[in-house]
């Protein structure tokens, strides 16, 4: 009978929806809590300990020992010289701040735009922000000649009767990055409180003590939820201009300078889009690693999320290409002889391969792969593209900092830059980022279960005529 067939169709498509979409596949909250707690508290096996030991070794040599050596002997063991006074240290700083922007994009911008697919991975993204900013902080302190006096750059009343020079983009950097680091840590912590309460209720021993302290006595009263959600709303809206301003100010470290190739008015938005580009690529790698290495995460993080992030990656790649071309076209057209020398050096100099690799990794490969829905929904493929994008974006910053510095208006000083101790130091920051994440995955529940449940409560399947569609209620 016609009815029976339609019902069967409906049942089939409902099953299909449930399989594909986390929001349409609700489980009892208790079960989800169990899954998250189990994935966090499973006794770590040999894979975990091997990873931790190797990473700690890399951090100990690459970060701790190498930095101590550089402080003792001077910046001379790095590769910076005249005219490339800034090198990989600044490249890494911009790189890590860029990665940290993805976290804010996911947890703030996607929340403001009510993109429901963000729900399971906002916390994983925010952790990327905090840990990425830590590495950026290390990288910027590393490059200072007398880092033991870096506190002179903080605004405090002192015996020298001096405040920092706010004419300098570096002082703006200090304010912006401090604001961003504190804000995103607070924004990480606020939605974490209810999950800390959940973890407190379900653990024993040292974990219970830790979560009890961090949960601050949260119970879930109407008052507590109201204050929390009000604050989260304010944060979501306010942290977006902060995020935009941070990377713009970082770009002004270069744009405010007089160097050919640097003094470009488009650096602000160019850097922001670049940050999102590398950040989303890193986010997708983190999600793929979490999904394949932690128990039960394949329930929370599904192909649909990679599909959604893949779409964003494609759009951002197009935006990056637009800004890159904007910057390039105007420099090429302007005819300034120094800028032309610089552009020629970028493309045809000894490191010209890097320029082409940057374009391939940032534009060609994403455009070739991410247009296809099926490919976008394949976690390993999207995360490979994510890694390639990050390599391309690191090349982009290498071109902007040491390579562009090699060419200036005094040809007698033109010289190549050859990195020295920056390499172990940079690898050390990468290892520390991964190490912090691995340790955090054992202590902090990576999925905001209450937000997932909130989303599941709001989603339902409805019939419009003969078609079954997903319907989302605005519960707030």
Partner 1 sequence: MTEEKKVVDLLAVFSDLGPAADAVEQLRTLGVSDDCMNVISGVPVTEAMLGRPRQWTNVPRIAMGGAILGLSAGIFLAFIAPYAYPYPIQVSTQAFVPGPPTVVVLFELTMLGMLLSTFLGVFLDSFFPNYRPMKYVPEISDGKIAIFVECPDCDEKKITDLLKKLGAESVKPAEAQHL
Partner 2 sequence: MTNAIPEVKLAEEHVGKWGMVINQDICTGCQACVAACAMENNVSFVGEEDSGYGRSMHWIRIERFWEGEYPEVRMTPNQPMLCQQCGSAPCEPVCPAFATVHSTAESLNLQVYNRCVGTRYCANNCPYQVRSFNWRDYERPEPLPNQLNPDVTVRRRGVMEKCTFCIQRIHKAQDKAKAEGREVMDGEFTTACAQACPANAIVFGRTDTPESLVSQLAHKGHGVKHLEELGTLPNVTYFKGG
Q: Which is nearer to partner 1, 426 or 455 (CB)?
A: 455
In the region spanning residues 2 to 61, those forming contacts with partner 2, defined by CB under 8 A, are none
Phi, psi of 261 (to 5 degrees): 90, -20
Place of tokens 């690191």: 394
344 binds, among partner 1, partner 2, none (CB under 5 to 8 A by kind): none
Tell how strand 467-472 and strand 459-464 pair up.
antiparallel
Under the criterion CB under 8 A, does residue 68 sit at the interface with partner 2?
no
29 binds, among partner 2, partner 1, none (CB under 5 to 8 A by kind): partner 1
How far apart are CB 215 and partner 2 at their closest, in Å? 40
Residue 121, CA distances (Å) to 221, 317, 349, 379 in order: 25, 21, 42, 14
Q: Which is nearer to partner 2, 50 or 158 (CB)?
A: 158
Q: Which two tokens stand for residue 146?
A: 């007398």
231 binds, among partner 1, partner 2, none (CB under 5 to 8 A by kind): partner 1
Under the criterion CB under 8 A, does residue 111 sit at the interface with partner 2?
no
Q: Which is nearer to partner 2, 60 or 77 (CB)?
A: 77
Cα separation, 179 vs 441, whole angstroms: 25
CA atoms within 13 A on the CB side of 220: 7
CB 18 within 8 A of CB 25: yes
Bridge partner list, 463: 468
Bridge partner list, 234: none
Q: Which is nearer to partner 2, 92 or 383 (CB)?
A: 92
Under the criterion CB under 8 A, does residue 156 sit at the interface with partner 2?
no
Under the criterion CB under 8 A, does residue 167 sit at the interface with partner 2?
yes
Q: Which two tokens stand for residue 351?
A: 């490191």
Q: Which of 30, 57, 74, 220 binds partner 2 (CB under 8 A)?
A: 74
Cα separation, 132 vs 112, whole angstroms: 23
364 binds, among partner 2, partner 1, none (CB under 5 to 8 A by kind): none
DSSP string for residues in 193-217: HHHHHHHHHT--HHHHHHHHHHHTT
Cα separation, 424 vs 77, whole angstroms: 12
Under the criterion CB under 8 A, does residue 350 sit at the interface with partner 2?
no
How far apart are CB 10 and partner 1 at their closest, in Å? 25
How far apart are CB 127 and partner 1 at their closest, in Å? 18
In the region spanning residues 253 to 312, those forming contacts with partner 2, defined by CB under 8 A, are 253, 256-259
What lies within 8 Å, CB to CB, of 67 at 6+ separation is: 142, 425, 428
DSSP string for residues in 124-183: HHHHHHHHHHHHHHHHHHHT-TTGGGGGGGS----TT-----TTSHHHHHHHHHHHHHHH
How far apart are CB 168 and partner 2 at their closest, in Å? 4
CA atoms within 13 A on the CB side of 370: 29
336 binds, among partner 1, partner 2, none (CB under 5 to 8 A by kind): none
Under the criterion CB under 8 A, does residue 162 sit at the interface with partner 2?
yes
108 three-class SS: helix
CB 215 within 8 A of CB 193: yes
In the region spanning residues 209 to 238, those forming contacts with partner 2, defined by CB under 8 A, are none
Q: Which residues bind partner 1 (CB under 8 A)?
A: 28-30, 33, 155, 161-163, 165-167, 172, 175-176, 178-179, 182-183, 186, 189-190, 194, 197-198, 200-202, 212-213, 215-231, 234-235, 238-239, 241-242, 245, 249, 450, 453-454, 457, 475-476
Under the criterion CB under 8 A, does residue 155 sit at the interface with partner 2?
no
Q: Which two tokens stand for residue 347?
A: 């493309």
Q: Which is nearer to partner 1, 223 or 411 (CB)?
A: 223
Under the criterion CB under 8 A, does residue 165 sit at the interface with partner 2?
yes
Residue 113, CA distances (Å) to 116, 121, 236, 456 in order: 9, 16, 10, 17
Q: Which of 333, 412, 464, 473 binds partner 2 (CB under 8 A)?
A: 412
Q: Which is nearer to partner 2, 158 or 292 (CB)?
A: 158
What track of x and - describes contact with partner 2 for positions 382 through 411 (by CB under 8 A)?
Answer: -----------------------x--xxxx
234 binds, among partner 2, partner 1, none (CB under 5 to 8 A by kind): partner 1
How far apart are CB 34 and partner 1 at their closest, in Å? 9
CB 96 within 8 A of CB 429: yes
How far apart are CB 369 and partner 2 at their closest, in Å? 38
Cα separation, 82 vs 181, whole angstroms: 32
CB 238 within 8 A of CB 380: no
Residue 414 DSSP code: -
How far apart are CB 151 and partner 2 at their closest, in Å? 9
153 binds, among partner 1, partner 2, none (CB under 5 to 8 A by kind): partner 2
How far apart are CB 165 and partner 1 at their closest, in Å? 7
What residues make contact with partner 2 under the rule CB under 8 A?
A: 73-77, 80-86, 143-147, 149-150, 152-153, 160, 162, 164-165, 167-171, 174, 253, 256-259, 405, 408-413, 415, 418
């Amino acid at each position: 009978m016609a009815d029976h067939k339609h019902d069967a169709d409906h049942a089939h498509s409902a099953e299909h929806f449930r399989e594909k979409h986390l929001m349409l596949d609700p489980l009892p909250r208790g079960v989800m809590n169990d899954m998250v707690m189990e994935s966090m508290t499973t006794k770590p096996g040999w894979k975990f300990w091997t990873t931790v030991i190797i990473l700690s070794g890399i951090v100990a040599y690459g970060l701790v020992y190498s930095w101590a050596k550089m402080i003792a002997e001077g910046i001379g063991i790095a590769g910076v010289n005249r005219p490339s006074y800034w090198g990989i240290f600044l490249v890494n700083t911009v790189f890590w701040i860029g990665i940290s922007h993805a976290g804010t994009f996911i947890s703030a911008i996607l929340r403001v735009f009510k993109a429901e697919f963000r729900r399971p991975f906002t916390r994983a993204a925010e952790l990327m922000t905090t840990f990425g900013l830590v590495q950026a902080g290390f990288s910027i302190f590393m490059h200072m000649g007398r880092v033991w006096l870096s506190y002179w750059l903080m605004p405090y009343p002192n015996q020298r009767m001096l405040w920092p020079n706010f004419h300098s983009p570096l002082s703006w950097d200090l304010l912006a990055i401090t604001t961003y680091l504190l804000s995103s840590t607070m924004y990480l912590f606020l939605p974490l409180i209810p999950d800390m309460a959940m973890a407190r209720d379900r653990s024993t021993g040292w974990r219970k003590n830790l979560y009890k302290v961090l949960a601050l006595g949260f119970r879930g009263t109407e008052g507590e939820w109201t204050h929390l959600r009000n604050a989260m709303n304010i944060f979501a809206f306010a942290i977006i201009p902060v995020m935009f301003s941070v990377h713009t100010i970082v770009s002004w470290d270069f744009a405010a300078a007089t160097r050919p190739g640097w003094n470009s008015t488009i650096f602000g938005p160019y850097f922001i889009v670049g940050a999102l580009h590398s950040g989303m690529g890193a986010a997708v790698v983190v999600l793929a690693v979490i999904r394949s290495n932690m128990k039960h995460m394949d329930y929370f993080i599904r192909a649909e999320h990679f599909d959604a992030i893949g779409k964003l990656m494609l759009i951002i790649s197009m935006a990056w290409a637009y800004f890159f071309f904007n910057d390039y076209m105007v420099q090429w057209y302007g005819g300034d002889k120094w800028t032309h020398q610089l552009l020629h050096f970028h493309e045809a100099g000894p490191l010209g391969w890097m320029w082409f690799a940057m374009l391939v990794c940032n534009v060609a490969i994403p455009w070739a792969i991410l247009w296809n829905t099926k490919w976008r929904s394949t976690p390993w493929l999207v995360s490979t593209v994510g890694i390639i994008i990050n390599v391309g974006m690191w090349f982009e910053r290498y071109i902007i900092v040491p390579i562009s510095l090699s060419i200036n208006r005094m040809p007698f000083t033109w010289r190549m830059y050859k990195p020295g101790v920056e390499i172990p130091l940079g690898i050390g920051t990468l290892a520390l980022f991964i190490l912090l994440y691995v340790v955090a995955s054992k202590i902090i529940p990576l999925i905001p279960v209450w937000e997932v449940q909130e989303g599941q409560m709001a989603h339902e399947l409805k019939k419009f005529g003969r078609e079954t569609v997903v319907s989302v209620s605005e519960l707030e």
